[in-house]
Structure 1
């Protein structure tokens, strides 16, 4: 079988990569072509993304492919969610896109809920209420008479805007649009009732397409710049988490996933949205997946806690992950437990002091060493995962017999084992490069190499090494979970 190459662009909120994927003998191989920073730019009290810098980096990656005479079959782009780009009637970008971290949306939900209830917004969209969702961004910009929005002919989400720069064709990819809180979760189209409430016409958006759709071919301009031919650009799962979940190497649909990194996202794939009073109360969200699936999930604090502690420890010693894990294993288990999603850990000036203060105020011993703090974080995350997993199964009514951990956090063997212990089910870790693999495999599905999710996941499963963890010490973890729930109910 001839080697088939695909080009993936994977853009996160702090960095981006271009990746070459090769499918050979029904297996996939990855090679990173370029890696580059993605900076938020602050100017005039606003926060922006430099979209042309990102476009420039994509072109650089394509130029390398051209120089190496690699014949790629297609190109796909995934990014973070919610942010948009304004395009005028001449097809030109009106301004750099605002970042979701721009402070103008802080009060937007409260202001919009004066016009339409919070329950109505959630009931129509199934998306958890977060002030930076596109719905609230556009409402805030409309309220402040944003001239770029007023002059826009089309509003494109980030991956769609970059695909437009490559092809000259405009689309709205479904999974990225589903993060906006502007899609009706059941109809899978823009909710005109909510758009009317914020004063935005549905005509401002390009037609919705689904993962696997061919957006168009590289424009003549891009062909001249890169030296490539008229290669098709595919609408992959434009939201990076959607691409990552597509790469879960599951053997059937009785699984949950945990996309593990700085933040953790735990959920299931479902055929329909789950929108009811309980899902609203528990703040679960319904985002688009591939082949008509819904990703029913919950956002959880992840390795953010340890990353912040490491930054403080670096002032005295740059502890490696093996050092931290070795020290954690030597610390006494279940002596210190926190609620990782407590507001006090959102962005404290000192994460170490915040953890110590939480333990003191909840009448626990106070951790002092880096090993004790690391163990506290890992065990607390595992217990929080159990709590969310329990709610997830109750809300969905789905039998789940395995948790797939994907993303960078899947390399953390200790946390993986603790998570298996806490949940009492098998945990399968890998792939760590889930987003890039999902992006590439959706391109492979578009090209006909694989036919559906099942065959795609079979190919992924045959291509990567995963590690399975079996639950241990169930009784001890049951007692620790009871302690955690008491702390959670009385959270400060």
Structure 2
């Protein structure tokens, strides 16, 4: 048997980060969480920032732990949420900590941007839905507020590119993360010059774009000495976390399948050969982003288990905690009684911010003429059932946009550990559900690294993932 290949997936979410060790033995991938840490934004001077150096420090702790536990490490790659970035000057220094996407500095300039480039035109040119959190809105605001950046900033690096730069000293623009920016031409591998010209944004700030699965260098010698490691390769993988998750999907037949990446937020979509930039796609609220390889992700962002998590948080603060396992059991118990749960819209603004979710569910039901849930079990089932209905509606929209009957839905991510949610989704959609892997972003990250190293062929990735995880199937109830 060939010697195992040890790889690190740095998987960063908007509230926590993980360093995951991936071991490839020539047949399958085994992933293990080595280090987990909080990723909390910092409020300063009326603005919201990411604590980049603290995140980088925690990543280094993960490398130390992995090296101690496993010995030699071959490569690492970072995947993160989209849209955020940092500026590097001509001396290679980070100018200041990157802003958080919820920072309010875009408020005063968003209307100006929309007058120069209306949302429907943004969609036509880039395939991205307009949103104030998007990179294009943030960059436009930054250059209006701080015009000195035009002279001082040498390049802007999206979050995973920034961490790859801190590790390797090499700054590139990886395609999947930049496809979330609202700055790339739809279906192309470069910036939209029309967008940049209309908004007066300098193309020089955008580094050379590279495809997912590019070896960009090695960990800097000084870091090797600090961490007591060898020359670990740094790989720009599928750097957007959803791109990594989708790369892990073990399709049975991609042509007639949709996917749901299910966690705090749910991404519902399908892979297409080209971006879908029709008026109907824009009206439905879909966006287009790049996949690992050459395909396109046509998807919609839906509020996921956030509403349940916020509900549990409120109960815990009231001294009545309900664990994930207990929540699942409560929902199952009332589901068996054929309780007719009301249906809420998870994307309603009512549920978009922290607060009393049971109270907001009651208010929504009253507003829409439905009987509100009363018990904890009824509230939990209402949330899960409503998610399933939302997924079903989105799948119907995908069928309308693609002209393709979807026969199977692949669910990946931590949310699939909720068995009832998987079954409710099968019932609501009338489709077969194939659930797995749970650690989709980490496994996808590792799999793309293996292709970059030449250890696995691109065409083999789906089969490799299927061998590396447990898949469960759910069918609509008769």
For the pair 1:307 / 2:313, whether they are aligned, the reply is no
Q: Matches of 1:430 and 1:94 in 2, distance apart?
A: 41
Which of 262, 271, 274 does residue 272 from structure 1 map onto?
274
Q: How many residues are aligned here?
A: 472
Q: Matches of 1:86 and 1:25 in 2, distance apart?
A: 40
* Counterpart for residue 470 of structure 2: 465
Which of 360, 369, 385 does residue 363 from structure 1 map onto?
369
Range that drifts further, 393-402 or 301-310: 393-402
Please state how far the C-alpha of 1:128 moved relative to its aligned partner: 1.3
Over residues 446-466 of structure 1, what are the superposed CA-to-partner deviations in whole Å (9 max), with x where a residue is unaligned?
1122211x3101011011111
Secondary structure (helix, strand or coil) at the match of 1:278 reads: helix
* Counterpart for residue 175 of structure 2: 174
Please state how far the C-alpha of 1:324 moved relative to its aligned partner: 2.2
Please state how far the C-alpha of 1:354 moved relative to its aligned partner: 0.9
Please state how far the C-alpha of 1:197 moved relative to its aligned partner: 2.7
For the pair 1:317 / 2:320, whether they are aligned, the reply is yes
* Counterpart for residue 283 of structure 1: 285
* Counterpart for residue 298 of structure 1: 300
Q: Please provide the CA RMSD for this pair.
A: 1.5
**Equivalences for residues 318-333 of structure 1 within 5 A:** 318-331=321-334, 332-333=338-339
For the pair 1:234 / 2:240, whether they are aligned, the reply is no
Q: Matches of 1:64 and 1:34 in 2, distance apart?
A: 8
Secondary structure (helix, strand or coil) at the match of 1:91 reads: coil
**What is the TM-score normalised by the length of structure 1?**
0.93
CA gap of 1:322–1:229, structure 2 versus 1, over 3 A, is closer
Q: Which runs of 5+ in 1 are unaligned?
A: 474-492
Range that drifts further, 89-98 or 390-399: 390-399
**Equivalences for residues 183-222 of structure 1 within 5 A:** 183-222=184-223
Q: Matches of 2:235 and 2:40 in 1, distance apart?
A: 26
* Counterpart for residue 387 of structure 1: 393
Secondary structure (helix, strand or coil) at the match of 1:292 reads: coil
Please state how far the C-alpha of 1:339 moved relative to its aligned partner: 1.5
Kept in 2, the 8 Å contact 1:33–1:61? The answer is yes
* Counterpart for residue 410 of structure 1: 416
Secondary structure (helix, strand or coil) at the match of 2:115 reads: coil
Please state how far the C-alpha of 1:349 moved relative to its aligned partner: 3.3
Over residues 179-233 of structure 1, what are the superposed CA-to-partner deviations in whole Å (9 max), with x where a residue is unaligned?
0010011223111111123322111111000111111111111111112222211
**Equivalences for residues 9-28 of structure 1 within 5 A:** 9-28=10-29
Range that drifts further, 243-252 or 405-414: 243-252
Q: Matches of 1:310 and 1:43 in 2, distance apart?
A: 30
Please state how far the C-alpha of 1:306 moved relative to its aligned partner: 0.9
Secondary structure (helix, strand or coil) at the match of 2:388 reads: helix
Q: Matches of 2:408 and 2:396 in 1, distance apart?
A: 13
Kept in 2, the 8 Å contact 1:108–1:137? The answer is no
CA gap of 1:348–1:83, structure 2 versus 1, over 3 A, is closer
* Counterpart for residue 54 of structure 1: 55
Range that drifts further, 80-89 or 112-121: 112-121
Q: Matches of 1:198 and 1:260 in 2, distance apart?
A: 35
* Counterpart for residue 460 of structure 2: 455
Q: Matches of 1:127 and 1:120 in 2, distance apart?
A: 10
Q: Matches of 1:461 and 1:249 in 2, distance apart?
A: 6
Kept in 1, the 8 Å contact 2:314–2:355? The answer is no
**Equivalences for residues 242-261 of structure 1 within 5 A:** 242-253=243-254, 254-261=256-263
Q: Which runs of 5+ in 2 are unaligned?
A: none
Kept in 1, the 8 Å contact 2:48–2:99? The answer is yes
CA gap of 1:12–1:149, structure 2 versus 1, over 3 A, is farther
For the pair 1:76 / 2:83, whether they are aligned, the reply is no
